[in-house]
């Protein structure tokens, strides 16, 4: 089938696109991406020229552009990943988050409905559930309690998407994944930022006491989960995605320094993120039970592979740090 992947030039979208095309099941993939600071055609290198792939540069909030691509391609499935994805940026300026997540998702849903698509997968995040105390984990029934403009606008998009199932019977599915890691993640997120800073001999800025916990999943395990839900999930349902790999931030930073054979003197505890969620942990039992999905990548080993990728692909991360990145870095972390 023809699958339209929004945000396909980003981190997860590019892994998903490559995964879909590598399956050999005859899928055609149409990537729609506005190429914001986080979108990068290098992430899709080698695919151009294939008959089963097309890249369209377009903003999902622009209805005429979306109508055009749906009319031209007649996709049967949509996997919607296009987003502003970084929490810290959402506290500096929430405008693009609301525009892309709320308006952009609404435009896509409307156009997808008009075109009669048979599957619409909204890719979301466990951050819509807010923060956990020291025990327990998020299930699909956990209340929505987002803390940041990023997660609040993602929650709005999830609810809009689900409303199109209730109101119009557009076959919408929602996945909510925990924190991803792996190759090609933009170096504003914890893991790539720490790797890149360590390689450049810069300070490693750890927010607060470093004891905030995230539950990590490799981007390839997430991509496989997205595909399972797209093909076999029940419309109108939410599926949590996670690999039961909870780690405190400081443990990860220390692990990365050990892998890179650096001492810990570069760790710098800095002012905490405003509204910083303390802990995330995902219960992915529904996805395992209903669709038989299991993660296959083990955290420490896959994190070593990720470090190796950044060591071997210096050109990629030097290239993505454009003028916008440097401005953002200065605003977020001060002059360094």
| Chain residues that interact with ligand NAD, rule: CB under 6 A | 6-7, 9-13, 33-36, 38-39, 59-61, 81-85, 100, 104, 123, 125, 154, 177, 179-180, 186
Q: Is 187 in contact with 46 (CB distance < 8 Å)?
A: no
Strands 213-218, 246-248: pairing is antiparallel
Residue 300 known to be catalytic: no
Among residues 84, 126, 220, 228, the one annotated as catalytic is: 126
Query: What is the contact mask toward ligand TYD in residues 168 to 207, using x (rule: CB under 6 A)?
Result: -----------x---------xx--x-----------xxx
Residues 247-286 that bind ligand TYD (CB under 6 A): 249, 273
CA atoms of 205 and 154, how far apart (whole Å): 26
226 interacts with, out of ligand TYD, ligand NAD, none, CB within 5 to 8 A per kind: none
Of the pair 118, 268, the CB lying nearest ligand TYD is at: 268
Q: Buried b vs exposed e over 65-92: b needs ≥16 C-beta within 10 Å?
A: bbeebbeebebbbbbbbbbbbbbbbbbe
Residue 127 known to be catalytic: yes
129 class by beta-carbon count within 10 Å (0-12 exposed, 13-18 middle, 19+ buried): buried
* Smallest separation, CB 265 to ligand TYD (Å): 17
The residue nearest ligand NAD at its CB is 10
CA atoms of 121 and 107, how far apart (whole Å): 14
Per DSSP, the residues of 13-81 read HHHHHHHHHHT-S--EEEEEE---TT--GGGGTT-TT-TTEEEEE--TT-HHHHHHHHHHH--SEEEE-
207 interacts with, out of ligand TYD, ligand NAD, none, CB within 5 to 8 A per kind: ligand TYD
Of the pair 33, 246, the CB lying nearest ligand NAD is at: 33
Q: How many CB atoms lie within 10 A of CB 263?
A: 8
* Smallest separation, CB 64 to ligand TYD (Å): 33
Strands 246-248, 179-181: pairing is unpaired
* Smallest separation, CB 241 to ligand NAD (Å): 8
Of the pair 175, 197, the CB lying nearest ligand NAD is at: 175
Residue 126 known to be catalytic: yes
- Residues identified as active-site: 126-127, 150
């Amino acid at each position: 089938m023809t699958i339209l992947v929004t945000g396909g030039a980003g981190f997860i979208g590019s892994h998903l696109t490559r995964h879909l095309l590598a399956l050999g099941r005859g899928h055609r993939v149409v990537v729609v991406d506005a190429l914001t600071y986080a979108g990068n055609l290098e992430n899709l290198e080698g695919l151009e020229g294939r008959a089963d792939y097309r890249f369209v540069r377009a903003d999902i909030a622009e209805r005429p552009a979306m109508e055009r691509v749906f009319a031209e391609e007649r996709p049967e499935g949509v996997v919607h990943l296009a987003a502003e994805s970084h929490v810290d940026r959402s506290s500096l300026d929430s405008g693009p988050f609301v525009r892309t997540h709320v308006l952009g998702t609404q435009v896509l849903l409307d156009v997808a409905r008009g075109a009669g698509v048979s599957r619409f997968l909204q890719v979301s995040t466990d951050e819509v559930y807010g923060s956990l105390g020291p025990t327990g984990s998020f299930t699909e029934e956990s209340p929505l309690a987002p803390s940041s403009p990023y997660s609040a606008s993602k929650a709005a998009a999830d609810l809009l998407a689900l409303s199109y199932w209730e109101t119009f019977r557009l076959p919408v599915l929602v996945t909510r994944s925990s924190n991803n890691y792996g190759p090609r993640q933009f170096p504003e997120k914890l893991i790539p930022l720490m790797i890149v800073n360590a390689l450049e001999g810069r300070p490693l800025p750890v927010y607060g006491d470093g004891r905030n916990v995230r539950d990590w999943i490799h981007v390839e395990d997430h991509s496989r989960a997205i595909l399972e839900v797209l093909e076999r999930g029940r419309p109108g349902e939410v599926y949590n995605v996670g690999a039961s790999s909870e780690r405190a931030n400081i443990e990860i930073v220390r692990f990365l320094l050990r892998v890179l054979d650096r001492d810990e003197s570069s760790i710098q505890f800095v002012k905490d993120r405003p509204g910083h969620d303390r802990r995330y942990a995902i219960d992915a039992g529904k996805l395992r039970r209903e669709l038989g999905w299991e993660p296959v990548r083990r955290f420490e080993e896959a994190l070593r592979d990720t470090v190796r990728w950044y060591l071997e692909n210096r050109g990629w991360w030097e290239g993505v740090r454009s003028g916008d990145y440097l401005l953002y870095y200065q605003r977020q972390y001060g002059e360094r």
